[in-house]
Structure 1
Amino acid sequence: MATALLSRLAQEVDPWAPGFWRDFGMGMLKPLAATAAVAMAVALSYTQRLGVEAEMLYAIARSFLQLSVIGFVLHFIFTQSSPLWILLAYLFMVTVAGYTAGRRARRVPRGGYIAGVSILAGTAVTMFLLVLLSVFPFTPRYIIPVAGMMVGNAMTVTGVTMKKLHEDVKAQRSLVETALALGATPRQATVQQVRRSLVIALSPVIDSAKTVGLIALPGAMTGLIMGGASPLEAIQLQIVVMNMLMGASTVSSILSTYLCWPAFFTKAFQIDDAVFAD
């Protein structure tokens, strides 16, 4: 059902149709008009002496440039039939996400590598299930936007998991070392810290699934409704999105904890002092 809905909407947005680019240019007038909200925010920041006016303007200008560039890049990729473009776009997203999550957990050795591998595995497995079950066809128009949502969510969850796990092991180092001295493996010695970090990282995803539609309409659902789809059609895709985000985030976060153990401990099953030094 989600595939059929997206197919119908994709047919309505044909970049090669006569007048498409003229209409696109006219459509950009609304985003430009919406910068009035930014002007209001900048004015308030100035009057309250927050000192973030330049940062606001830079952020908006950067987002405008990035979205404009990625729009044309996606337009090019969507017109290609080779699956290689899907793979390249996907790996690019995973690389950037791994780097970003690694910076969040900068005290974890090889944090970017651990985050990248975890995000890659979690999203790839979830995407494979969606394609295998014919939820989405393996084409750029479907896979790239879906992968982007999963990678972005997995990036946030993985970064929080790694950062929190490092903090908890450091704060409870004496308990971990006592367990190791009694013959426990690194996994056994840090089981409580791992569970705590996973629960904290996954809580926003779980809470979002619990309250979806009650507090705020999610982005995918809102976009479809504003694009002309009926609310009943929009919820079909949103349910798919919530399910895939839950699966990808859980796999990625759990895998990141397994990959952190070699970085936290020596081969002799001792805490690596260099990793937890102040």
Structure 2
Amino acid sequence: MDFEWMRVFLEGMLKPLAATMVVVMAVLLSYLQKLGLEREMIYSIARAFLQLSIIGFVLQFIFSRENSLWIILAYLFMVSVAGYTAGQRAKHVPRGKYVAGASILAGTAVTMFLLLVLNVFPFTPRYIIPVAGMMVGNAMTVTGVTMKRLRDDIRTQMNLVETALALGATPRQATLQQVKRALVIALSPVLDNAKTVGLISLPGAMTGLIMGGASPLEAIQLQIVVMNMLVGASTVSSIMSTYLCWPSFFTKTFQLETKVFTAE
């Protein structure tokens, strides 16, 4: 069995280990400023180091197989973790983890399908898994913010929503403004990032290609594709989450489910 890649990996980890000196500096500053974040910093960086090392071995295995089944399994695993994380953010939304997971799955699957149909990316692990990871990560953040903000806005404006319902409005009509506000707040960072990409900072995909030896012109071509898919996936996922939240916010008689909004 060829273990050459193992030797290359271990040699390559020397620089990441050397870079931990930056974390040592941060820990020292936290101690001197009495922030109390030393343990959390050490735990966070150690966990990231371990997780990324494991993922590196997993991806090495998947890339060497070139099997579509591994692509699907890796994608579903990412969606499951993202759904759980987003659901934790919106913990007062009933079945929030399932709502978030379904929304992220819908948004990223539709976007990925379009990219494959348009032949933007080949269906291989080396392309699909990193692309799916970027989409799932952004959709996770947007979906969690949307769900939490929608529930909180309805909670603070229960009287307005109940008045609209009493006057004959449907749940969608009664909460239209709250839904719009939640979506705008959740999607604004993604859109702002798209507006300033390349002007303030070079995104990860573009930076990685340039550092890997690709020309800047090749790097921006990929980055444009990445920004497009992030906007698409995030928008579909956030809108889907509002539709899936509605049934748990209202009773069958179109009244607010007060127990959802009384929990602190």
TM-score range normalised by the length of the shorter chain: over 0.9
In structure 2, the partner of 1:139 is 124
Give the secondary structure class of the aligned counterpart of 1:217: coil
1:77 to 58, 62, 65: 62
Which residue identity does 1:244 align to in structure 2? M
In structure 2, the partner of 1:217 is 202
In structure 2, the partner of 1:86 is 71
Q: Give the distance between the partners of 2:132 and 2:238, measured in 1 at CA.
A: 17
1:38 to 23, 38, 55: 23
1:202 to 171, 187, 204: 187
In structure 1, the partner of 2:144 is 159
Deviation string for 1:120-163 (max 9, x for gaps)?
00000000000000000111111111000000000000000000
Q: Give the distance between the partners of 1:25 and 1:219, measured in 2 at CA.
A: 23
Question: 1:46: how far off?
Answer: 0.7
Following superposition of structure 1 onto structure 2, how do residues 121-270 of structure 1 map, counting pairs within 5 Å?
121-270=106-255
Q: Give the distance between the partners of 2:47 and 2:9, measured in 1 at CA.
A: 20
Q: Give the distance between the partners of 2:3 and 2:33, measured in 1 at CA.
A: 49
Deviation string for 1:97-135 (max 9, x for gaps)?
000000000010000000000000000000000000000
In structure 1, the partner of 2:98 is 113
TM-score by length of 2: 0.97
Following superposition of structure 1 onto structure 2, how do residues 91-102 of structure 1 map, counting pairs within 5 Å?
91-102=76-87
User: RMSD between aligned alpha carbons?
Assistant: 1.3
Q: Give the distance between the partners of 2:138 and 2:254, measured in 1 at CA.
A: 33
Question: 1:27: how far off?
Answer: 1.7
TM-score by length of 1: 0.92
Q: Give the distance between the partners of 1:219 and 1:162, measured in 2 at CA.
A: 27
Question: 1:273: how far off?
Answer: 1.1
Q: Give the distance between the partners of 1:49 and 1:184, measured in 2 at CA.
A: 54
Identity across the alignment (%)? 76
Unmatched runs of 5 consecutive residues or more in structure 2: none
Which residue identity does 1:32 align to in structure 2? L
Q: Give the distance between the partners of 1:233 and 1:81, measured in 2 at CA.
A: 25
Q: Give the distance between the partners of 1:86 and 1:226, measured in 2 at CA.
A: 26
Q: Give the distance between the partners of 1:181 and 1:270, measured in 2 at CA.
A: 9
Q: Give the distance between the partners of 1:21 and 1:106, measured in 2 at CA.
A: 41
In structure 2, the partner of 1:13 is none
Give the secondary structure class of the aligned counterpart of 1:274: helix
Unmatched runs of 5 consecutive residues or more in structure 1: 1-15
Following superposition of structure 1 onto structure 2, how do residues 8-23 of structure 1 map, counting pairs within 5 Å?
19-23=4-8
Q: Give the distance between the partners of 2:228 and 2:238, measured in 1 at CA.
A: 16
Give the secondary structure class of the aligned counterpart of 1:79: helix
Q: Give the distance between the partners of 2:116 and 2:20, measured in 1 at CA.
A: 39
2:14 to 18, 29, 48: 29
Q: Give the distance between the partners of 2:66 and 2:214, measured in 1 at CA.
A: 27
Give the secondary structure class of the aligned counterpart of 1:106: coil
Question: 1:18: how far off?
Answer: 8.8
Which residue identity does 2:102 align to in structure 1? V
Question: 1:250: how far off?
Answer: 0.1
Question: 1:19: how far off?
Answer: 4.9
Q: How many residues align?
A: 263
